[in-house]
Amino acid sequence: MTLIQRIDALLPQTQCGKCGHAGCKPYAAGIAAGEPINRCPPGGDATIAALAQLLQLPVLAPDPERGTAPAQVAYIREAECIGCTKCIQACPVDAILGAAKLMHSVLADECTGCDLCVAPCPVDCIEMRPAPTSAFTSLASDPSCGPEQQRARLRKRDQARQRYQARNERLQRVETARQAERAPRPLRSATVALAQGPALSALERIKAAKAAKASGGDSALKQAKIAVAMTRAQLVKTRKAFVTPPTFEQFLVLDTLGREHEAAERQLAALQTL
């Protein structure tokens, strides 16, 4: 395992963003680069101690600016739920079931207690409740736990990490398909080729861009300019609508919109150079 992976293995995998990063692994990378080890509220003192031992650093007190994060689980008051799906979109581990205009429900055993689903709810029907100790394995380390309990915590961390990674991969596939659908028909095949980047030689990329322009002519260039303007406007509008600093889920949305705008700019630049 790399140092980042070893650090990530000690973090609680709540993916809550309270450390200032978009998830546990980015924070692990930050720690490996020299960031303080005391910015994980869900991990608490036990995680700080484990990180200090791994990295041979002094044990620090938890950063008070990060707040606290006791073991908790989300609960939806189902009678008040309007089925807007906003909480489903916000959950980093796909622990909420439901569909548009239908009641939603939390899978308590999969919930990491990140509370990212609370703020987006337009009717305020989600609350964080203390995790029931009899049926819930906390993601945070606890020195007082026995070997079997510690193994159960590690298993739950691994499960949360896998669900988080699977969700991000799914969202990336959906976004890639959405971008392909938005592209003008004459440009779609060329867009796929251009997106491969270093996989193609410079000559092949030029040929692909020429083919796109030849297929669509001035229309292709016009559509590319429209795409740049629309993606820029969407990015600016979304930035203004989100809080500062953005939450973890908002960060993912901004990152996706930013990459979409950059792709549109590259496509336009390729067409303009022909």
100 Cβ contact partners less than 8 Å away, ≥ 6 residues apart: 83, 84, 85
What is the pLDDT, as a whole number, of residue 197? 47
Degrees, nearest 5: CA angle 156-161-164? 125
Based on the fold, state whether residues 174 and 79 are members of the same structural domain: yes
Residue 263, domain extent: 216-273
Q: What is the CATH number of the domain that holds 44?
A: 1.10.15.40
Question: What's residue 196's pLDDT?
Answer: 47
Q: What is the pLDDT of residue 107?
A: 93
State pLDDT tens for residues 220-267.
Answer: 778 888 888 888 888 887 777 776 677 777 777 788 888 888 888 888
Q: What is the pLDDT of residues 137-165, one digit of tens each?
A: 567 656 667 788 778 888 888 999 999 99
Query: Given a cut of 60, is residue 61 above it in pLDDT?
Result: yes
Q: Exposed, middle or buried, 69 (CB in 10 Å: 0-12/13-18/19+)?
A: buried
Whether residues 221 and 162 share a domain: the answer is: no
pLDDT at 126 over 90: yes
Considering the domain boundaries, does residue 207 fall inside one?
no
- Grade residue 96 by pLDDT with cuts at 50, 70 and 90: very high
What percent of the chain stands above pLDDT 90?
43
- pLDDT single digits (tens) 63-95: 999 988 888 999 999 999 999 999 999 999 999
User: What's the confidence (pLDDT) of residue 213?
Assistant: 52
Do residues 97 and 163 share a domain?
yes
pLDDT at 70: 84
pLDDT at 86: 94
Residues 174 and 120 in one domain: yes
The total of structural domains in the chain comes to 3
At how many degrees (to 10) do helices 218-241 and 248-272 cross?
Answer: 160
pLDDT in tens, 2-47: 999 999 999 999 999 999 998 899 999 999 999 999 999 998 898 9
- Are residues 154 and 90 part of one domain? yes
Q: Which pLDDT score is estimated for 29?
A: 95
Query: Among 66, 95, 121, where does a domain finish?
Result: 66
**Residue of 25, 20, 86 whose CA lies nearest to 247:** 20
pLDDT tens-digit profile of 170-181? 988 888 888 877
